[in-house]
Every structure is written in structure tokens, then in C-alpha cells.
């Protein structure tokens, strides 16, 4: 290695170490999010009682099984729950090394920098959910596909045309198959990933012209045809066997697999249909722009740069861009007409077709065109992967912040590859070179500031749009937990009676009360209250449930007010410099509140 390469690899090593530090530092400080508490409790049930049943509402079995083993090694703690997401989130940087030939040396370092400090990837690497697992295995599957393709080409180009067969092809197929089946055993959007891969392979099949003479080759199959078919069959078998083991515990249970797939697809379709967590078609764009500014800007520039630079002369580029622009103008006019003249809606396609489909259709078209025309196959896949993910997840009416990782990962790789090309030939003394460096430094500084602010200061602040309302406020909920532990230690410790009236607190408390043996759930307001700890819903009504209980309990009990979630209804006026830099809001958040009534032992009431 020359000095430049040595410096880059030294920098890459530092980024990897720093990525692990950022993910492991104070990992268990933040209280469990609602979803973390739910999956944490079901993981505990598997660990403690060997009980697990697939429920698509709480996703696939992979995370439950692997984390229950962490509990066996380390105990059932928040730290143990989040340790594997943290390790896999940081380990994604290792998977960039096999891709350095395609990203370039500078591009690989930039991708490592983006992954290490990305506010979104860092946050969900410190979060006990499936999404960072999916990102890791998706990137692993991509690496396996790339390395398999390299081995395939190398075998085909072997000396004397002897068509050698390297065993590493089987290795990459096996690992890739395990990665794909692991994604399917994690979360139901695996089927979206598989569908997009299948579409890409179909388009690639057309691009490479493999359909020519296919009928004749099928009539007289030779080694060049039979070996890829056998490899494809091997890959499918690996996927099915691992999938079956996860969902049924058997090597090849077709009925069990069919049931799991049906339940998964039915659940996702129903969530989309009822729009349980619906949002605007552009939901993920401001999220990426706010948290991932350099990735967003250079990713978009990179996609259009790669999509149009090859096999497109200036005239063709202009025509395509003009067609897209005219299309968007026509769509805007239709929305405007529908707004001014509501009676025209029934005559306009915007009434019958979802907004995301109409508006983002050109992005999908560019992605498909990219597969056909971009000469660099790796970049062609990334462009297709990014645009198709934006299209699909804008369409799906389950708008939640963690799904942003799906389009963000390929966008990040494109941004890094594009920046690698720009920086390798940059003349910093020129105006354009200086302007590029200034913007890169400023946007990267904002990127780092945002990531550190989110993950180590405002990690439960609902002013952070990446935090869903299901996150309990840190101080209030921690005070509730501490008081619960304090009072229970004065009585029977984990055998202390606890009465819970608030039904909506159940999911959050199941995890935190998992070691308590005398928790009475869903207690009626008419019941007799005599437990040392009583938990009841609080609200803004004139006389709340908490007020009724307080009046009945008298002076023997003290009250602690807490909250299980907080949220803002965001407005355009909230977007100020203070908000963008520090998440400062001009009003307090709304909250779902509850009250803890506790009875200190002896005469400790003050």
C-alpha cells in the first residue's frame, strides 16, 4: 500500500472503532420504547418459559430466538436486548470492505463515515427492533451476490476456456440464502425486498439478452445452463430450509411455511388498507433531509448522475427530463383543478389512484431505465434499489420512521460512491472545488451534530420526528420505575402486590413487571384498593380516574405523576432555525399520563 492507501485504511479502522463505541456507550440508559417493551417481554417469555408463537403484529421469530440466547448469557436486561442490534449496526461497516472495488477507496471511507454517524442508523442500532437486523442482512445478501458474480465471471474467463468451478460460489450462495431467509424470519417487509430483487433480476435478464436462444438451450441443455439452474435450486432450498426451521422448527414444513407467509401478507395488506399509521406520500423525504443531509443531497445527485451519464447523449437526457417535468406539471394541474372545482374529482385519475403512485411513478421509471442503461451493474442495482424503495414505501400506508432505513441504505451507498468520484479528482483551488468542500464540511458537521443530539441528548424528545409517540419521557418514566423499585423493596420485593387499572399501560409494563409475581392487571375502579402500588390513568378531565382513586385512598398513599408517551402535532410554523438546530419547540408536548399511588411502609409518609 502507498501512503495514501495506508492513511485511508487507518481512517477506516478508526471509524469502525468509533462506530462500536457510539453504539455501545450508555446503551441501556434510555427507557424502553413501547415496541421494545413488547418484543422484550415476548423474548423473555421465550427465554423463561420456552413459549413462542408467531404473531405478524410483532413480526418474525429470528430476533426473539437470538436475543433469548443473549438473555441466557447475560441476563434479561435492556443492555442485553440492545446489544445485538448495536453489534450488527456497527458490523455493517465491515461489509463495505468487499464492496470497495465498486465504491472506490474514498467512497468506501465515506460510506463507513455515513454508516457510523448516521443519525438514523445509529438510533436504530441502539433500539431493540428488527430493522437494523434487516439492514445488516440486506447488505450481507448484496455482498454475497457481488462476490458470487465475481467468482462466476472469473470461472467463465478461466484459462483455455476450461470453465473452472470455484467452491466459493457455493459458499456465497449458502450465506446469501441464509441472509435472505433471516430477513424473512425478521419482518414481513422481507417480501417487498424479495419482490424488488425478482424484478431487478427480470430486468437484468432482459438487459443481458439472456432470453435470446433460450428455447433452443432448454431443448439441448448444456453445462453452461445446468450449473446456474442447479445453483438457483440450491439457493432456493437453503432459503426454504432456514425459513422452515425458524417458523416451524422442522426442516421442510411446506404447510407451516405457507401459513406463515399467508399470515404475514394478510397482516401487511390489512395495515395498508386501514391506514393504521398512514402518512403523506412524502413522509420519508423530510426525515432523510433533516437527519441525513449530505446523504440526501449527494445521493440524489449521484443517482441522476449515474442514471444519465452512460448511453444517454445530451439530447436524450433533455427529452427524458422534459417528459418527466411535463408529467409532474399535468399532475399538479389536476390536483389544482380538483381543489378549485371539487365536482371534477370523479373525472380525474388522482381520485382513483393513490397520490404516491401518481407522483413518484417517474422515479420508478428512472430506476427501471437505470437497470437497462447504466453500464456499471452494481450502480445500476443501487439506483434501482433506491428509487423502487422510495416508490414502494411511499405507497404502503404504514408510515413509521424505522422503515426509512430501507431507502436510506442504497441512497447512502450511492452518495458515498459519487462523493468518492468527486473527491478523487477535486481541485480545491477552483471555485467549484472550494464550494463543494465547504458544503460537504457544513452538511457533514450538521449531520454529526444531529446524530449526537438525537442519540445522546434528545433521545426521548417527541420534537425528534424519528421518535414515535410510543417512547416514554425519560425523566418521568424513570422516576416511576425508581419509585416502584423503592416501595417494593420495603415490602416483599418482587412478590409485592401491584394493582394496575390503566389497560393501555399493559404492554409497556409487561416488560418492567416481568419479575413481579403479584401484578393484578385490568383492575376495575370498583375494586378494593389495598396494594402498596396502584397504577391508574390520568387525563385532562375535570375529575379523572386518578382523582377518584386519590379521594378513596385518603392520606395513607402518596401520588407520583408520570407519563407513558408524549407527542407533538407538528405544524409548518414549527420549522425554525432553533428547531432545526436544537429541536426547540414553543409549546409543551401533549402526553398520555398516568399516576402511581404508593404506600411507604411504617411511618415514612411525609
Return the higher-pLDDT residue of 265 and 115. 115
pTM of the model: 0.94
**Model pLDDT for residues 416-457, shown as the tens digit of each residue:** 999 999 998 888 889 889 999 999 999 999 999 999 999 999
Pairing of strands 558-567, 498-500: unpaired
d(CA 505, CA 546): 14
Backbone angles phi, psi at 118, to 5 degrees: -55, 120
At 62 the three-state DSSP class reads: helix
Comparing CA positions, the residue from 525, 596, 528 lying closest to residue 563 is 596
Give yes or no for residue 387 having a pLDDT over 90: yes
Give yes or no for residue 161 having a pLDDT over 70: no
Give yes or no for residue 159 having a pLDDT over 80: no
d(CA 147, CA 239): 18
Give yes or no for residue 363 having a pLDDT over 70: yes
Give every CB contact of residue 71 below 8 A, 6+ residues apart in sequence.
43, 44, 47, 77, 80
d(CA 250, CA 68): 20
Q: What is the predicted pLDDT for the residue at 312?
A: 60
**Model pLDDT for residues 40-65, shown as the tens digit of each residue:** 999 999 999 998 889 888 899 999 99
Give every CB contact of residue 62 below 8 A, 6+ residues apart in sequence.
130, 133, 182, 185, 186, 246
Whether the CB-CB separation of 408 and 120 falls below 8 Å is answered with yes
d(CA 442, CA 424): 19
Place of cell 421465550: 46
Whether the CB-CB separation of 131 and 33 falls below 8 Å is answered with no
Three-state DSSP string of 278-296: CCCCCCHHHHHHHHCHHHH
Average pLDDT for 385-391: 94
Question: Read out DSSP for 135-181?
Answer: HHHHHHHHHHHHHHHHHHHHHHT-GGG-----THHHHHHHHHHHHHH
Indicate the burial class of 438 (C-beta count within 10 angstroms; 0-12, 13-18, 19 or more).
exposed
Written as nine digits, the cell of 498 is 401491584
Residues composing the chain: 606
Give yes or no for residue 605 having a pLDDT over 60: no
Q: What is the predicted pLDDT for the residue at 489?
A: 94
Q: What is the predicted pLDDT for the residue at 279?
A: 85
Q: What is the predicted pLDDT for the residue at 468?
A: 85
Region for 554 from its dihedrals, namely left if φ exceeds 0, alpha if ψ lies in -120 to 50, beta otherwise: left
Comparing CA positions, the residue from 545, 495, 496 lying closest to residue 524 is 545
- Helix H segments across 185-312? 190-207, 214-219, 223-248, 254-274, 284-291, 293-309
Give yes or no for residue 1 having a pLDDT over 90: no
**Model pLDDT for residues 571-582, shown as the tens digit of each residue:** 989 999 999 999
Give yes or no for residue 32 having a pLDDT over 90: yes
| 391-395, 423-427, 523-527: least confidently modelled range | 423-427
**Model pLDDT for residues 222-253, shown as the tens digit of each residue:** 787 888 899 999 999 999 999 999 999 898 88
Count of Cβ atoms closer than 10 Å to residue 103 Cβ: 26
Return the higher-pLDDT residue of 77 and 540. 77
Q: What is the predicted pLDDT for the residue at 84?
A: 97
Residue 310 pLDDT class (50, 70, 90 cuts): low
| 156-160, 256-260, 310-314, 330-334: least confidently modelled range | 310-314
Comparing CA positions, the residue from 221, 231, 256 lying closest to residue 241 is 256
Give yes or no for residue 606 having a pLDDT over 50: no
d(CA 556, CA 600): 8
Average pLDDT for 388-394: 93
| 1-15, 305-319, 442-456, 497-511: least confidently modelled range | 305-319
Give yes or no for residue 311 having a pLDDT over 70: no
**Model pLDDT for residues 107-130, shown as the tens digit of each residue:** 999 999 999 999 999 999 999 999
Whether the CB-CB separation of 505 and 70 falls below 8 Å is answered with no
Written as nine digits, the cell of 178 is 441464509
Torsion angle in degrees (nearest 10) through CA of 210, 212, 217, 219: 130
Average pLDDT for 129-157: 93
Indicate the burial class of 328 (C-beta count within 10 angstroms; 0-12, 13-18, 19 or more).
middle
Whether the CB-CB separation of 544 and 566 falls below 8 Å is answered with no
Taking the CA atoms of 11, 14, 19 and 20 in sequence, report the sign of the dihedral they define: positive
d(CA 90, CA 496): 41
Q: What is the predicted pLDDT for the residue at 51?
A: 86
Give yes or no for residue 158 having a pLDDT over 90: no
Amino acid at each position: 500500500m502507498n501512503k495514501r492507501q495506508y492513511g485511508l485504511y487507518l481512517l477506516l479502522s478508526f471509524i469502525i472503532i468509533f462506530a462500536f463505541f457510539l453504539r455501545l456507550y450508555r446503551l441501556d440508559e434510555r427507557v424502553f420504547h413501547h415496541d421494545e417493551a413488547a418484543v422484550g417481554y415476548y423474548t423473555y417469555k421465550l427465554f423463561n418459559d420456552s413459549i413462542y408463537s408467531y404473531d405478524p403484529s410483532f413480526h418474525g421469530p429470528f430476533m426473539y430466538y437470538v436475543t433469548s440466547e443473549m438473555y441466557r448469557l447475560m441476563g434479561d436486561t435492556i443492555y442485553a436486548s440492545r446489544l445485538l442490534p448495536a453489534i450488527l449496526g456497527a458490523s455493517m461497516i465491515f461489509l463495505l470492505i468487499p464492496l470497495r472495488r465498486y465504491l472506490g477507496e474514498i467512497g468506501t471511507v465515506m460510506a463507513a463515515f455515513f454508516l457510523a454517524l448516521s443519525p438514523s442508523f445509529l438510533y436504530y442500532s441502539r433500539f431493540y427492533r428488527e430493522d437494523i437486523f434487516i439492514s445488516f442482512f440486506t447488505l450481507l445478501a448484496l455482498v454475497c451476490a457481488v462476490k458470487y458474480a465475481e467468482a462466476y465471471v472469473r470461472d467463465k474467463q478461466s484459462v483455455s476456456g476450461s470453465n473452472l468451478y470455484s467452491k466459493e460460489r457455493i459458499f456465497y450462495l449458502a450465506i446469501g440464502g441464509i441472509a435472505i431467509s433471516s430477513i424473512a424470519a425478521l419482518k414481513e417487509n422481507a417480501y417487498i425486498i424479495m419482490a424488488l430483487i425478482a424484478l431487478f433480476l427480470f430486468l437484468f435478464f432482459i438487459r443481458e439478452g439472456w432470453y435470446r436462444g433460450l428455447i433452443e438451450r432448454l431443448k439441448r441443455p448444456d453445462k453452461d445452463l445446468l450449473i446456474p439452474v442447479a445453483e438457483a435450486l440450491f439457493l432456493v432450498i437453503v432459503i426454504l430450509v432456514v425459513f422452515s426451521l425458524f417458523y416451524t422448527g422442522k426442516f421442510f414444513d411446506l404447510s407451516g411455511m405457507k401459513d406463515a407467509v399467508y399470515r404475514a401478507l394478510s397482516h401487511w395488506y390489512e395495515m395498508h388498507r386501514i391506514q393504521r399509521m398512514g402518512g403523506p406520500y412524502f413522509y420519508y423525504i423530510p426525515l432523510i433531509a433533516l437527519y441525513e443531509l449530505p446523504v440526501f443531497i449527494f445521493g440524489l445527485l449521484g443517482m441522476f448522475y449515474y442514471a444519465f451519464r452512460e448511453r444517454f447523449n445530451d439530447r436524450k437526457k433533455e427529452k427524458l427530463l422534459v417528459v418527466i417535468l411535463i408529467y409532474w406539471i399535468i399532475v399538479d394541474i389536476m390536483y389544482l383543478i380538483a381543489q378549485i372545482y371539487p365536482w371534477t374529482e370523479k373525472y380525474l385519475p388522482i381520485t382513483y389512484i393513490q397520490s404516491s403512485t401518481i407522483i413518484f411513478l417517474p422515479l420508478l421509471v428512472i430506476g427501471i431505465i437505470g437497470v437497462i442503461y447504466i453500464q456499471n451493474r452494481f450502480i445500476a442495482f443501487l439506483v434501482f434499489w433506491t428509487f423502487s424503495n422510495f416508490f414502494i414505501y411511499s405507497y404502503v400506508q404504514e408510515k413509521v420512521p424505522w422503515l426509512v432505513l430501507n431507502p436510506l441504505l442504497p441512497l447512502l451507498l450511492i452518495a458515498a460512491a459519487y462523493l468518492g468520484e468527486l473527491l478523487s479528482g477535486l481541485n480545491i483551488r477552483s471555485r467549484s472545488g472550494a464550494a463543494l468542500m465547504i458544503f460537504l464540511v457544513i452538511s457533514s458537521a450538521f449531520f454529526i451534530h444531529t446524530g449526537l443530539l438525537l442519540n445522546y441528548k434528545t433521545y426521548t424528545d417527541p420534537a425528534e420526528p424519528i421518535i414515535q409517540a410510543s417512547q416514554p419521557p425519560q425523566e418521568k418514566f424513570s422516576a416511576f420505575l425508581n419509585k416502584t423499585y423503592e416501595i417494593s423493596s420495603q415490602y416483599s420485593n418482587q412478590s409485592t402486590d401491584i394493582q394496575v387499572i390503566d389497560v393501555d399501560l399493559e404492554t409497556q409494563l409487561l416488560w418492567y413487571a416481568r419479575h413481579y409475581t403479584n401484578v393484578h392487571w385490568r383492575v376495575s375502579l370498583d375494586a378494593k384498593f389495598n396494594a402498596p402500588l396502584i397504577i391508574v390513568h390520568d387525563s385532562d378531565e375535570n375529575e379523572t380516574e386518578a382523582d377518584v382513586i386519590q379521594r378513596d385512598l385518603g392520606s395513607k398513599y402518596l401520588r407520583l405523576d408520570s407519563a407513558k408517551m408524549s407527542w407533538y402535532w407538528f405544524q409548518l410554523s414549527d420549522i425554525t432555525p432553533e428547531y432545526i438546530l436544537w429541536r426547540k419547540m414553543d409549546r409543551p408536548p401533549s402526553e398520555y399520563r398516568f399516576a402511581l399511588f404508593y404506600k411507604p411502609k411504617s411511618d415514612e409518609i411525609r
